Amino acid sequence: MAQAANGNWDLAADVIVIGSGAAGLPAAIKAIEGGASVLVVEANYDVGGHAILSGGHMALGGGTSAQKKYNIADSPDTLFSDLTDWSVVQPNGSPDFRYNDRAVMRAFADHCATTFEFLLANGVEFTDKAPDNHGASTTGNSAPRENHAFWTKSAGLESPNAAAGTGVIRPLEASARKKGVKFLLNYKMTSIIREPSPGKSGGHVIGINAQYSPRIMPGSTTPLKSFRSDGNIDSTQPTMKLRAHKAVIVATGGSTSHIEFRRMFDPRLTPVIQVGGEPYSYQDASGELAAMAIGASLWGLANQTLENGATMRAQRALATKFNYTTWKLESPIFPLVRAAGFNVKDWQDLILVNQVGTRFYDETKGDVPHGNLGGQVTPYTPNDYRNAENVKYNPTRYNFTHAALAMNEYSEPPSYCAGPQWAIFDADAVGREGWKVVPPYVDPDGYFFSGNTLAELATAIKNEYQAKPMKGEVLQATVERYNSFVDAGVDEDFGKPAPKFKIQTPPFYAAWGTLIVHDTRAGLRINARCRVIDMNGQVIPGLYCAGESAGGFNQHGMGRCATQGYICGVDAAKLARHE
């Protein structure tokens, strides 16, 4: 890393990695191990992206040392076969692997076990137990492949929300810094710079432009600082022009936070739908848009519309806008989050209503299928049409996203937005669940309300996404009808199994319970070496992409991100220096 010799550039490195999450950090480490100088550019005040907020689950198979230790048979060929099996279908009819890019999957399968050992060598610890299916999604039928990062808060690994994903990110960060990777934090990449070329395809990617974007909490004038400072480039320069002598690696984390971008795949995903990982990190499509601006193609778009895994999620934390998870009060960004939220132990304790105040769903049904994983289809023969016959087709079991986004009489012009969903419950439910229904556990500024009567509760509900006021008589009728189902023991509207508890004891409560989107499973077209491909089917020289910003791979979690980051870093370091 050095000041650029040419006065037109502010800094220069052989390889510039945009993003510091589960793809960016492995890419940076492998590039510097390959002899390249490396600069990581991160829009946030600290590293980690979505990965540091995750559950720490890592889907890596193909014959890892953990699989061998516990006598789990797996191989790159088996993994490749699993992740390209057209015949595997979920109970809602959604296919898991049918639209995966075979070249991308072959590369993943061949590097998967190697990436697992790489993580171990760079300080990541996994719990000492057999790989399993906990947290797994679309990981393949032939073997369990999910590993779980080991981390405890007492280990001294700081985190924006004390999540297990810290056990992946902080060791990789420490290794990268120790090996000489430099970090430019609080800078958002605004464009990728490509050499002009008289030819049709264009020239080599030679750098990026970046803009200073400090994170300042409400009530403060001081930008947040990262937990580590060694190797950080200290700058508040408004804009930076950064030279990449060899390559730029896009590891920006996907596109689901960009409302107009995500609606290209699913028009239902209007602004009311929140995104997992916010407000710490945003899947803002910046990498995709910048690459498309210099000719890159998108790829594997069908995977983004499939209703499996974590593309959409229901029934997360209640009473907080950022409801992917419950938040720790000590989080550095808690002033942005505003409320911890709370989880539900028993979905018999409440009902869900739309913004009109009517039920639309059996609240106990949960998410769409998590996707194919080890042993789900039994018996299983790879690429055999009869595999689908061994899965019980049950589309009504997974109707939440359809109902929540479509069944709403307030869906009107010009937006036709379906509006929020609210969890409705009473004081008895609060006692049974042990919820704390006061700030900072709930957000009364638009995401949690109470009333001594149901009519009073309906009147109290005011939210930026609530198109019209909820009518008290509608909510009252909904609750009375539900209470009659408790008496009868039968939910005549949506088939909720033996409704247990009436909603009858004041005060009554309404908590934000709107579904979220999470994974990005479509993105830039890449080849087996993770090099970005343009609209003419040609490689864009010097441009790579890894993780959720890359297309052609339908899988949830950090495993694909880390493996593609590994591939990028190795290949980018081998490129000839481009002057």
* CB-based contact 543:296 (threshold 8 Å): yes
Q: φ and ψ at 23, to 5 degrees?
A: -95, -45
**Model's pTM, two decimal places?**
0.96
pLDDT digits (tens, 9 = 90+) for 481-527: 999 999 999 999 999 999 999 999 999 999 999 988 889 999 999 99
pLDDT digits (tens, 9 = 90+) for 131-172: 999 999 999 999 999 999 998 664 445 789 889 999 999 999
Q: Check pLDDT > 70 for residue 407.
A: no
Q: What is the pLDDT of residue 156?
A: 46
- The helix, strand and coil proportions of the chain, stated in percent and rounded to the nearest 5, come to 25, 20, 55
Q: What is the overall mean pLDDT for the chain?
A: 93
Query: Pseudo-torsion of CA 115, 116, 117, 118, nearest 10°?
Result: 40
Q: φ and ψ at 185, to 5 degrees?
A: -90, 160
Task: Output the six-digit token pair for 370.
Answer: 């998590």
Q: 11-308+518-574: which CATH number, 2.40.160.40, 3.50.50.60, 3.90.1150.10, 3.40.50.620?
A: 3.50.50.60
pLDDT digits (tens, 9 = 90+) for 90-114: 988 889 999 999 999 999 999 999 9
pLDDT digits (tens, 9 = 90+) for 59-80: 999 999 999 999 999 999 999 9
User: pLDDT over 90 for what percent of the chain?
Assistant: 81
Count of beta carbons in the 10 Å neighbourhood of residue 204: 17
For the chain, residues classed under CATH 3.50.50.60 are: 11-308+518-574
Q: Which range, of 74-83, 115-124, 193-202, 467-476, averages the lowest pLDDT?
A: 193-202
Q: Fold for 312-371+388-517, please state it.
A: Flavocytochrome C3; Chain A, domain 1 (3.90.700)
pLDDT digits (tens, 9 = 90+) for 288-315: 999 999 999 999 999 999 888 777 777 6
**Cβ neighbours for 483, distance < 8 A, ≥ 6 positions apart:** 502, 503, 504
**How confident is residue 402, by pLDDT bands cut at 50, 70 and 90?**
low
Task: Output the six-digit token pair for 237.
Answer: 């320069």
For the chain, residues classed under CATH 3.90.700.10 are: 312-371+388-517
